Amino acid sequence: MSQFKGIASLAQSLRARETSAVELARQALIAAQTHADLNALITVDAAGALAAAERADVALATGDASPLSGIPFVHKDIFCTNGLRTTCASRMLENFVPPYDACVVEKLGAARAVTIGKSNMDEFAMGSSNENSHFGPVRNPWDRTRVPGGSSGGSAALVAAGVVPFATGTDTGGSIRQPAAFCGITGLKPTYGRVSRWGMIAFASSLDTASVLARSAADCALVLDAIAGHDARDATSVDRPLDDYMGALCKPLAGLRIGVAREYFGAGIDAGVGAVVQSALKEYEKLGAILVDISLPNAHLAIPAYYVIAPAEASSNLARFDGVRYGHRCAEPRSLEDLYTRTRAEGFGAEVKRRILVGTYALSAGYFDAYYLRAQRVRRLIANDFAAAFESVDLIAGPTTPTVAFKLGEKSADPLAMYAADVNTVAVNLAGLPAISVPTGLSEGLPVGLQLIAPAFAEARLLNAAHQLQQVTDWHNREPGARS
43-63 pLDDT, tens digit per residue, is 999 999 999 999 999 999 999
Q: Which strands sit side by side in the sheet containing 290-294, from one edge to the other?
A: 41-44, 114-119, 72-76, 166-171, 209-214, 186-189, 435-443, 446-453, 395-399, 257-261, 290-294
Residue 295 lies in a domain: no
**Environment class of 47 (CB within 10 Å of its CB; exposed 0-12, middle 13-18, buried 19+):** exposed
Residue 205 lies in a domain: yes
| Rounded Cα distance, 154 and 35, in Å | 12
Task: List the one residue out of 166, 153, 144 whose CA is nearest residue 123.
Answer: 153
Burial of 175 (0-12, 13-18, 19+ CB in 10 A): buried
Residue at 408: amino acid letter: L
Distance CA 431, CA 346 (A): 35
Read off the pLDDT of each residue in 268-297 and give the average, rounded to a whole number. Answer: 97
Task: Give 400-456 pLDDT, tens digit per residue.
Answer: 999 999 999 999 989 888 998 999 999 999 999 999 999 999 999 999 999 999 999
pLDDT 10s digits, 401-417: 999 999 999 999 898 88
141, pLDDT greater than 60: yes
pLDDT of 330-345, one tens digit each?
A: 999 999 999 999 999 9
Mean pLDDT of 105-124: 98
Q: What percent of the chain has pLDDT over 70?
A: 99
Q: Is residue 246 part of a domain?
A: no
Instruction: Please state the length of the chain.
Output: 484
Q: What is the CA radius of gyration of the chain?
A: 21
In-domain check, residue 353: no
Its pTM stands at 0.96
Strand partners, 398: 451
Q: What single string gives the DSSP state of each residue in 225-254?
A: HHHBS--TT-TT----PPP-TTTTTT---T
Cβ atoms 273, 443 nearer than 8 A: yes
Check pLDDT > 60 for residue 1.
no
Q: Which residues fall within 8 angstroms of residue 332, CB to CB, at 6 or more apart? A: none
Which stretches does DSSP call E strand in 125-281?
166-171, 186-189, 209-214, 257-261
Supply the mean pLDDT for the chain: 96
In a domain, 412, yes or no: no
Residue 481 has pLDDT above 90, yes or no: no
Number of domains making up the chain: 1
Q: How far apart are CA 154 and CA 19, in angstroms?
A: 27
Cis geometry, peptide bond prior to residue 175 (ω within 30 degrees of 0): no
Which stretches of 106-204 are assigned E, i.e. beta strand?
114-119, 166-171, 186-189
What secondary structure letter does DSSP report for 21?
Answer: H
With respect to residue 354, please indicate whether it lies within any of the assigned structural domains. Answer: no
Is residue 112 scored above 70 in pLDDT? yes
Alpha-carbon gap, residue 242 to 229, rounded angstroms: 7
Residue 484 has pLDDT above 90, yes or no: no
Bridging pattern class, strands 435-443 and 209-214: unpaired
Give the residue from 478, 455, 434 showing the smallest Cα distance to 192: 434
Residues annotated as catalytic are 76, 151, 175
The closest of 52, 27, 193, 47 to 111, measured between CA atoms, is: 52
Give the H/E segment covering residue 347. helix 336-347
For the cut 70, the answer to whether the pLDDT of residue 123 exceeds it is yes
CA distance 212 to 219: 9
pLDDT above 60 (res 87): yes
**For the domain that residue 441 is a member of, what is the CATH number?**
3.90.1300.10
Share of the chain above pLDDT 90, in %: 95
pLDDT at 164 over 60: yes
Q: What is the pLDDT of residue 2?
A: 53
Using DSSP bridges, classify how beta strands 41-44 and 114-119 pair: parallel, antiparallel or unpaired: antiparallel
The pLDDT of residue 268 is 86
Is 145 within a domain?
A: yes
Q: Is 152 helix (H, G, I), strand (E, B) or coil?
A: coil
Ramachandran angles phi, psi of 286, nearest 5°:
-65, -30
> Binning pLDDT at 50, 70 and 90, where does residue 267 land?
confident
Alpha-carbon distances of 282 from 142, 190, 278, 286, rounded to whole Å: 26, 26, 6, 6
- Where in the sequence is the domain holding 196, given as residue range(s)? 7-234+434-477
d(CA 233, CA 471): 39
HSE at residue 397, side-chain half, CA atoms within 13 A, is 31
How many Cβ atoms from other residues are within 10 Å of residue 320's Cβ? 12
Q: What is the mean pLDDT of residues 22-34?
A: 98
Confirm whether 337 is domain-assigned.
no
Distance from C-alpha of 131 to C-alpha of 148, rounded to nearest angstrom: 9
Q: Which amino acid makes up residue 69?
A: S
